[in-house]
């Protein structure tokens, strides 16, 4: 069985031993399960949202970056109209018949996601076909680093390479993933997660034009100014969070409607103040205020990066975190407000940062349960990991790097 070239692994992972062993395991399992004697290999990273919490779905701006955790796959066409995927660690094979694509046939789970992606690809004018795949991931599940979007972008890369001559753009990838989540999962997600996983590196996104998302890569890393990103998984919440997630874009769009537009990016805070008393939903007003403030912070953060003003950059990250907690209100769920793992972990982290006199922290990703991001001085990284591990377990603390390469076929 062929394997990816070591030069390519070095380029993506900065090493070849650990990554090489992962792909060898992938190849062995793919051959064993599907009887294929050759394979093509693919990778798609998870993502970290650096600043721009819950702005993408209303046409705002976000700085995000792919991370050095990824979903990898060995795959090959099988000459049928059936997709078969085995995901490491899961007993049930994912099977999708391309001749029977409909939400009524695929009602839940990963099979529904794959079916939705295939339908989304077809509706956007792209070819699909049957293939076999063995998939493995080290992206933290249900933890705000977009394990689902990482998987989606891996599948997009597979169908792009095998059936579309690699002609799909990252915008196309994101639309396909969003379609599946919106239509088959009933999840009102935007396209930020998919784009950040697909593009790779730190990227400034502008979501104003949903048909042609604008993005530009930034010359940035936390190590550049002596800091490190640490992702802390605070624990999976017990409530079903789908409604909580969907209410954020829904409330923002309801405010936009009162202001005479479809999405908040088409208006401004002055218009909100003028019509504020016409809006009965107080939380919706607060969330709209967060949107306007957060979009401005993203622009200021990009400017700070351009001018190497990292003190200003950290100050903006801190403001972003406070706004998410106070205005956006996505740090705990109203269904079980006694369970507040995110706010608890933020408060404990703030005690540590205050003691060392440096660093910031904030909710990471969708919120309500899951993950926080702490940006700590490199010299204090080990101390912070040891400290916060006392409260969440060391297995839930992840020092991370930004990965330069997004979703790709790697040979």
The pTM assigned to this predicted structure is: 0.82
Cα(361)–Cα(144) distance, integer angstroms: 15
Which residues lie closer than 8 Å to 48 by C-beta, 6 or more apart? 64, 65, 66, 67, 145, 196, 229, 231, 364, 373, 400, 402
Cα(6)–Cα(17) distance, integer angstroms: 9
Cα(233)–Cα(384) distance, integer angstroms: 14
Residue 361 backbone dihedrals phi, psi, to 5 degrees = -145, 160
SS3 405: coil
Which residues lie closer than 8 Å to 241 by C-beta, 6 or more apart? 333, 366, 368, 369
Cα(270)–Cα(154) distance, integer angstroms: 42
Question: Bridge-partner residues for 372, per DSSP?
Answer: 232, 363
Q: Which helix (H) or strand (E) holds 94?
A: strand 94-97
Strands 131-137 and 82-87: parallel
Average confidence (pLDDT) per 10 residues, the chain, 411 residues: 91 94 97 95 94 93 92 98 96 96 94 98 98 93 77 98 97 94 86 89 90 86 91 78 89 98 98 97 98 98 96 97 97 87 97 98 88 96 98 93 92 89
Strands 131-137 and 61-77: antiparallel
CATH number of 6-220+404-409: 3.30.230.10
Confidence (pLDDT) at 239:
64
Confidence (pLDDT) at 253:
97
Residue 201 backbone dihedrals phi, psi, to 5 degrees = 75, 180
Strands 227-233 and 371-377: antiparallel
Closest CA to 202 of 405, 42, 399: 405
Closest CA to 178 of 276, 56, 287: 56
Cα(24)–Cα(177) distance, integer angstroms: 28
Cα(27)–Cα(20) distance, integer angstroms: 11
Q: Could you state, in order of their start, the residue ranges of all structural domains in the chain?
A: 6-220+404-409
Question: Bridge-partner residues for 70, per DSSP?
Answer: 45
């Amino acid at each position: 069985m062929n394997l990816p070239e070591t030069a390519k692994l070095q380029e993506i992972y900065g090493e070849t031993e650990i990554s090489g062993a992962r792909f060898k395991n992938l190849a062995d399992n793919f051959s064993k399960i599907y009887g294929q004697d050759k394979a093509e290999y693919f990778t798609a990273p998870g993502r970290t949202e650096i600043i721009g919490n819950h702005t993408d779905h209303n046409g705002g701006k976000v700085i995000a970056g792919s991370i050095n955790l990824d979903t990898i796959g060995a795959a090959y066409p099988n000459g049928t109209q059936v997709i078969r995927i085995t995901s490491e660690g899961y007993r049930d094979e994912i099977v999708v018949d391309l001749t029977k694509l409909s939400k009524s046939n695929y009602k839940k789970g990963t099979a529904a996601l794959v079916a939705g992606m295939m339908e989304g690809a077809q509706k956007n004018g792209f070819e699909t076909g049957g293939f076999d795949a063995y998939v493995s991931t080290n992206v933290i599940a249900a933890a705000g680093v977009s394990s689902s979007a990482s998987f989606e972008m891996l599948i997009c890369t597979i169908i792009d390479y095998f059936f579309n001559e690699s002609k799909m753009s990252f915008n196309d990838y994101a639309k396909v993933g969003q379609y599946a989540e919106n239509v088959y999962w009933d999840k009102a997600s935007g396209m930020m997660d998919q784009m950040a996983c697909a593009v790779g590196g730190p990227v400034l996104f502008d979501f104003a034009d949903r048909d042609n998302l604008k993005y530009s890569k930034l010359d940035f890393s936390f190590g550049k100014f002596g800091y490190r990103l640490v992702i802390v998984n605070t624990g999976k919440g017990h409530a079903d969070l789908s409604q909580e997630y969907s209410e954020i874009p829904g409330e923002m769009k309801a405010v936009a409607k009162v202001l005479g537009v479809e999405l908040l990016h088409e208006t401004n805070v002055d218009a909100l103040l003028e019509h504020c008393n016409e809006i009965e939903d107080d939380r919706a007003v607060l969330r709209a205020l967060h949107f306007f403030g957060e979009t401005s912070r993203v622009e200021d953060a990009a400017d700070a990066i351009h001018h190497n003003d990292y003190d200003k950059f950290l100050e903006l990250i801190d403001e972003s975190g406070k706004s998410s907690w106070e205005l956006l209100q996505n740090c705990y769920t109203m269904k079980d407000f006694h369970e507040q793992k995110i706010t608890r972990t933020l408060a404990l982290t703030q005690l540590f940062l205050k003691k060392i006199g440096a660093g910031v922290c904030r909710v990471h990703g969708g919120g309500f349960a899951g993950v926080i991001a702490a940006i700590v001085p490199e010299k204090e990284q080990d101390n912070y990991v040891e400290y916060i591990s006392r409260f969440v377990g060391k297995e839930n603390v992840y020092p991370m790097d930004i990965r330069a390469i997004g979703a790709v076929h790697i040979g």
